[in-house]
Structure 1
Amino acid sequence: MPKRLSPDARNEALVTLTGWKLVEGREAIGKRFVFRDFSEAFGWMTRVAMLAETMGHHPEWANVYRTVDVTLATHDAGGLTELDVRLARAMDAIAA
């Protein structure tokens, strides 16, 4: 099982993640992605879903039209782990 990041490691990771913020009341990070339209948002979600499946690590997300709100945490570890940071970086790269 992945280990939770220490507070220092969590802060270091956040500095390297553009637009990601700590989720209030949880040990998790979140970001809102906004795309041109629904098709682009759904296409991005599909690509992320395929990657997440290979990682065995799945996001919490909600989609309304062209907006996707994402929350990442590793439930088995009870908080933020390196898996979340890796998935956040991959999501950013796919969105670019």
Structure 2
Amino acid sequence: MTLNQEDCAACHAEAPQVAPEELAELIQQIPEWQPIVVDQVMRLERIFIFRNFRLALTFTNRVGELAEQEGHHPEIVTEWGKVTVRWWTHAIAGLHRNDFICAAKTDAVLVD
């Protein structure tokens, strides 16, 4: 099963963060995403480029719908022709498998 076919699992403060070996494996499935550290918290980031603001806003709304369906919410910055999406799990202040699932589903939203 590919990541975008999985569903997010309920996550709590005691859930484990993705181990370095798992990170290396999972990131291969979402090659356009970059692991970054912001405020000492690892996150997944991807910048999407669009021809205009309307397309960027449409994509933003689709990612918002995905987030609601999964019960997992990213940081989304929408600008003219550009959307930056960052996934991480607030409850554990780092990356969980859910973040990789949602990143893969975000890629699928772009294709649809």
Common fold: TM-score over 0.5: yes
Instruction: State the secondary structure of the residue aligned to 1:52.
Output: helix
2:41 and 2:93 in contact (8 A); partners too: no
- Total equivalences in the alignment: 96
Alignment of 1:28-67 (within 5 A): 28-67=43-82
CA deviation after TM superposition for structure 1 residue 64, in Å: 1.0
Identity of aligned residues (%): 29
Structure 1: any 5+ residue segments left out of the alignment? Answer: none
Structure with greater proportional helix content: 1
- How many angstroms apart in 2 are the aligned matches of 1:3 and 1:45? 29
Instruction: State the secondary structure of the residue aligned to 1:27.
Output: strand
C-alpha RMSD of the superposition? 1.3
Q: TM-score, normalised by structure 1?
A: 0.91
CA deviation after TM superposition for structure 1 residue 43, in Å: 0.8
Instruction: State the secondary structure of the residue aligned to 2:85.
Output: strand
User: Could you give the per-residue CA deviations for residues 15-51 of structure 1, whole angstroms, max 9, x where no partner exists?
Assistant: 1112111113531111100112111111111111111
Partner of 2:23: 10
- How many angstroms apart in 2 are the aligned matches of 1:68 and 1:95? 11
Larger Rg: 2
Q: TM-score, normalised by structure 2?
A: 0.79
CA deviation after TM superposition for structure 1 residue 55, in Å: 1.1
